[in-house]
């Protein structure tokens, strides 16, 4: 059976198609965003049980490139790609763990966290970037005039782009908002040989510039306006369900900025539904930082209107986005998945991340936003305590050590409820013993509280 995928305009009145090896980011006829469509009839040629079996056989195997969580599902991602052009760093296959203690604190017995940050560059962006860079490699091999691949980034996209381009031997260019990303996020593209351009603006400002420089076909655009990344990112929900032996959870909670990831999550689940691997759709919750909450504001108006905003500074810097590229797609997704949108203040996201850490997590601030949303939804009764809930953790906490250090040093703009400060002592046994006695007593009372 011959499987195929193509770009298609999302505008219902246009629906123009383009091959996946063409350099196109928006519809040339009407200017709308594109999305990748698959020949679903061809995919139906294999029944749901056979797809499950194939995915299970490949999952985390050493059968290159099919052991990758993304390429193990190649037929659903980018079937025409030649295996020789796949640039894979064994992405996907990340840990999905039962957050037993944190769940119990909230009265929830079936809470799970999908650790997408346990990945090559430390965030879920790897899932999409492997597909984008592989597609670029294929286009170059076919003679496309691409000299470099560029993106504007709040940190994690550039880290993923730089590392996949380095693995492929393709030049990357990253435009970063000066002083707005963490040291770890800045050092990744530097180490991986990207041309790093630090601009005195915010993410939305960098985005404007990169859109213009990529009008020239020799510089290929890697931002999520380019819908090819969605194809890799959509494996996240599919993989979670595979990890639950094909049982679909009740709720997914995901932090959202540019809103590509929620669209991807939804697309993967819809494909599973279309092909009979799941029989019902879960609910999707998008969590935003209050300082960058344009989707939440639109949700409050039943998505009847949308107003971009100037995003204010947030600790969750990867979602500090006021004018999300994938807004239309995300709203479409939320309408299909009984969607809920919530926001979290800086204090709420930081406390939720820290509280989670005390139960054995190591949360990035974006995951903190998702956990804060979960806490609110349980309080308001919008999520029932009996439900099976999955939180998508988007990056590794070690990328955000400055945030954690400041929280525990209590130097943020608000009180840190769960700060854990080192106790400074003279190097004497009696002083240490005395300090331990008091501290352990205090710890026991808080642990039992």
Work out the number of other CB atoms within 10 angstroms of the CB of residue 39: 15
Task: Report in angstroms how near the CB of residue 26 gets to Zn ion at its nearest.
Answer: 8
What separation in angstroms does the CA of 400 have from each of 116, 377, 380, 407, 448? 15, 26, 30, 11, 29
Q: Pick from ligand PLP, Zn ion, none: which does 156 bind, CB < 5 to 8 A by kind? A: ligand PLP
Task: Report in angstroms how near the CB of residue 366 gets to ligand PLP at its nearest.
Answer: 4
Q: Is residue 128 involved in binding ligand PLP (CB under 6 A)?
A: no
Q: Which among 335, 349, 350, 258 is positioned nearest to 295, based on CA atoms? A: 258
DSSP 203-242: HHHHHHHHHHHTTSTTEEE-STTSTHHHHHHTHHHHHHHH
> Rule CB under 6 A: which of 348-377 touch ligand PLP?
364, 366
Of 24 and 96, the one with the shorter C-beta distance to Zn ion is 24
Distance, first Cα to last Cα, the chain: 60
Q: Pick from Zn ion, ligand PLP, none: which does 377 bind, CB < 5 to 8 A by kind? A: none
Task: Report in angstroms how near the CB of residue 224 gets to ligand PLP at its nearest.
Answer: 6
Applying CB under 6 A, among 136, 259, 265, 287 the residue interacting with ligand PLP is 259
> Rule CB under 6 A: which of 307-326 touch ligand PLP?
318-319
Q: Is residue 125 involved in binding ligand PLP (CB under 6 A)?
A: yes
Q: Is residue 267 involved in binding ligand PLP (CB under 6 A)?
A: no
Task: Report in angstroms how near the CB of residue 31 gets to Zn ion at its nearest.
Answer: 7
Q: Is residue 123 involved in binding ligand PLP (CB under 6 A)?
A: yes
Q: Pick from ligand PLP, Zn ion, none: which does 9 bind, CB < 5 to 8 A by kind? A: Zn ion
Q: Is residue 234 involved in binding ligand PLP (CB under 6 A)?
A: no
Q: Is residue 255 involved in binding ligand PLP (CB under 6 A)?
A: yes
Q: Which residues have CB under 8 Å from 189's CB, separation 6+? A: 158, 159, 161, 162, 172, 174, 176, 196
Of 175 and 318, the one with the shorter C-beta distance to ligand PLP is 318
Structure tokens at 63: 């059968």
Work out the number of other CB atoms within 10 angstroms of the CB of residue 84: 9
Cβ atoms of 112 and 99 within 8 Å: the answer is: yes
Q: Is residue 74 involved in binding ligand PLP (CB under 6 A)?
A: no
Task: Report in angstroms how near the CB of residue 121 gets to ligand PLP at its nearest.
Answer: 10
The helix (run of H) or strand (run of E) holding residue 395 is none
* Dihedral sign from CA coordinates of 60, 65, 69, 73: negative
Q: Pick from Zn ion, ligand PLP, none: which does 99 bind, CB < 5 to 8 A by kind? A: none
Work out the number of other CB atoms within 10 angstroms of the CB of residue 417: 12
The binding site for ligand PLP (CB under 6 A) comprises 123, 125, 156, 224, 255-261, 318-319, 364, 366, 394-395
């Amino acid at each position: 059976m011959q499987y195929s995928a193509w770009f298609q305009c999302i505008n219902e009145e246009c629906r123009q198609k383009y091959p996946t090896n063409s350099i196109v980011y928006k519809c040339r006829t009407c200017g709308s965003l594109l999305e990748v469509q698959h020949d679903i009839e061809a995919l139906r040629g294999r029944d749901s049980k056979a797809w499950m079996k194939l995915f299970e056989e490949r999952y985390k195997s050493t059968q290159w490139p099919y052991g990758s969580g993304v390429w193990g599902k190649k037929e659903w991602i980018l079937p025409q790609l030649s295996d020789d052009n796949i640039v894979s760093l064994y992405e996907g296959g990340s840990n999905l763990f039962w957050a037993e203690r944190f769940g119990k604190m909230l009265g929830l017995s079936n809470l799970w966290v999908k650790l997408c940050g346990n990945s090559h560059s430390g965030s879920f962006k790897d899932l999409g970037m492997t597909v984008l860079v592989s597609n670029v490699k294929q286009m170059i091999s076919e003679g496309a005039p691409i000299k470099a691949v560029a993106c504007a980034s709040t940190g994690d996209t550039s880290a993923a782009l730089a590392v996949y381009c380095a693995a492929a031997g393709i030049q990357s260019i990253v435009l970063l908002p000066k002083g707005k990303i963490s040291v770890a996020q800045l050092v990744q593209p530097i180490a991986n040989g990207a041309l790093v351009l630090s601009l005195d603006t915010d993410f939305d400002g960098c985005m404007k510039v990169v859109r213009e420089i990529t009008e020239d076909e020799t510089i290929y655009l890697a931002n999520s306006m380019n819908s090819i990344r969605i194809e890799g990112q959509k494996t996240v929900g599919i993989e979670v369900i595979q990890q639950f032996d094909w049982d679909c959870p009740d709720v997914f909670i995901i932090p959202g900025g540019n809103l590509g990831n929620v669209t991807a999550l939804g697309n993967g689940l819809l494909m599973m539904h279309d092909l009979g691997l799941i029989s019902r759709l879960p609910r999707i919750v998008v969590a935003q930082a209050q300082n960058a909450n344009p989707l939440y504001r639109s949700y409050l108006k039943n998505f009847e209107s949308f107003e971009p905003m100037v995003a204010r500074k947030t600790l969750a810097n990867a979602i500090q986005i006021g004018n999300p590229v994938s807004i239309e797609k995300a709203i479409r997704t939320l309408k299909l998945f009984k969607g809920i949108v919530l926001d979290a203040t800086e204090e709420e996201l930081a406390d939720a991340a820290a509280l989670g850490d005390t139960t054995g997590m190591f949360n990035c601030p974006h995951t903190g936003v998702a956990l804060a949303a979960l806490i609110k939804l349980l309080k308001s009764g919008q999520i029932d305590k009996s439900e099976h809930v999955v939180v998508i953790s988007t990056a590794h906490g070690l990328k955000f050590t400055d945030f954690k250090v400041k929280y525990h040093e209590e130097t943020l703009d608000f009180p840190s409820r769960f700060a854990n400060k080192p106790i400074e002592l003279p190097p004497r046994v009696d002083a240490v013993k005395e300090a331990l006695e008091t501290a352990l007593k205090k710890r026991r009372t808080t642990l039992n509280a």
